[in-house]
Amino acid sequence: RLTWQAYHRLPDIHGYLDYLAQTYPQLCTVQTIGQSVQGKAIKLLRISNGNPGNKAVWVDGGIHAREWISPATVTFIINQFVSNFENEPAAVRNIDWYITPVLNPDGYEYSHTTDRLWRKNRGRGGIGGTCAGVDLNRNFGYKWGGRGASRNPCTETYGGSGPFSEPETSAVRNFIQSNSGANWKAYVSFHSYGQYILYPWGYDRVVPPDYKDLENVARRIASAIQRAGGPHYTIGPAANTLYPASGGSDDWAKGMAKFKYSYTIELRDNGRYGFVLPAAYIQPTGTEALEAIRVVAEAASAA
Ligand code: 0X9
Ligand code: ZN
């Protein structure tokens, strides 16, 4: 099935999720949380031991089409969790995991078939659809349309016609809001590249009141990665550390959905290959992301 020695196409990734649900029905369930613009399923894997006291953690990948290391890393984490569940730390086992490896299935496939550096979804941009694609990480509904987002459909950072105008982002909002029974504590969005652990806010150069808590966990994540032999990851609030960009999933998770911890993790590399990271980097990148997500599990358990 999946190898983590190559980047896989959407049907293979979705087939793998279905396989897990069939093989480990007591641990894994698959759900389609929505459809993309072109009608592709947006699939979510829930991993849970059924403990009623569990906190809930959201993980997504593939918001941006060309960042192939993101879905590969998210499925790497899934594979480690599921195939070795009994040996994961208690903090990992006692979390309800909600994991969507490919949030932008149309864009992901388009980056395989047509344009390797495609970023956005494949929605119609603007009236009459002059240019295709909305940047899904500018389309979430917290401080939508502010700094770092464009009103021009023909740009890479077009935020859409309104907050949650796109089916991919509204699927996330609808799922999280309709699962208010889940005890949501942490939201993690995997992107590339640059090796950053970013926390809110992204919309402007300000920080939330409890930013010290987010900073401390970010520091622990970066330390865990280095301890495991990984490279340096820079930590900090997104707008200050990278650039201001509004309408991101991380800001929405923190600002509206009230997740205590919200991170955008920019995976490898540092710019040598950029988005076109060779598949040989999937395993080392996945290994360090696994360290990262275990720290998130600890923080969520304690929150
Ligand atoms: O610009 C983005 O959406 C992210 N970087 S990427 O190169 N993967 O496109 C950073 C998003 C950080 N979070 C916010 N600005 N809210
Ligand atoms: Zn991205």
Structure tokens at 262: 């919200």
| Ligand 1 geometric centre to CA of 48 (Å) | 29
Number of other residues whose CB lies within 10 A of the CB of residue 276 = 13
Of 200, 210, 204, residue with least CA distance to 251: 200
Q: What is the DSSP letter of 136?
A: G
Structure tokens at 226: 């280095």
Q: How far apart are CA 235 and CA 221, in angstroms?
A: 9
Q: pLDDT tens digit string along 147-180?
A: 999 999 999 999 999 999 999 999 999 999 999 8
Q: Which ligand is nearest to the CA of 238?
A: 1
Q: How far apart are CA 119 and CA 134, in angstroms?
A: 9
Ligand 1, atom nearest to 244 Cα: 15
Q: How far apart are CA 14 and CA 226, in angstroms?
A: 32
Number of other residues whose CB lies within 10 A of the CB of residue 170 = 17
Going along the chain from its start, the domains and CATH numbers come out as 10-302 (3.40.630.10)
Q: What is the pLDDT of residue 209?
A: 98
Of 111, 42, 31, 45, residue with least CA distance to 74: 45
Q: pLDDT tens digit string along 207-236?
A: 999 999 999 999 999 999 999 999 999 999
Q: What is the pLDDT of residue 124?
A: 78
Of 214, 179, 186, residue with least CA distance to 301: 186
- List strand residue ranges (DSSP E) for the chain, in order: 28-35, 41-47, 55-61, 95-100, 124-125, 131-132, 184-192, 196-199, 234-237, 261-267
Asked if 266 is an active-site residue, the reply is yes
Find how far residue 213's CA is from the centre of its chain: 20
Q: What angle do CA 58, 62, 233 make, to 5 degrees?
A: 75
Model pTM?
0.98
Ligand 1, atom nearest to 201 Cα: 16
Q: With contact defined as beta carbons under 8 Å apart, do 36 and 121 qualify?
A: yes
Q: What is the pLDDT of residue 130?
A: 80
Q: Which ligand is nearest to the CA of 199?
A: 1
CA-based end-to-end distance of the chain: 36
With a Cβ cut-off of 6 Å, ligand 1 is lined by: 64, 67, 137, 191, 198, 202, 238, 242, 245, 248, 250-251, 264, 266
Q: What does R_g of the chain's alpha carbons equal in angstroms?
A: 18
- Any residues with CB less than 8 A from the CB of 29 and at least 6 apart, and which? 21, 45, 46, 48
Q: What is the pLDDT of residue 65?
A: 98
Mark the ranges of the chain whose per-residue pLDDT is less than 70: 125-129
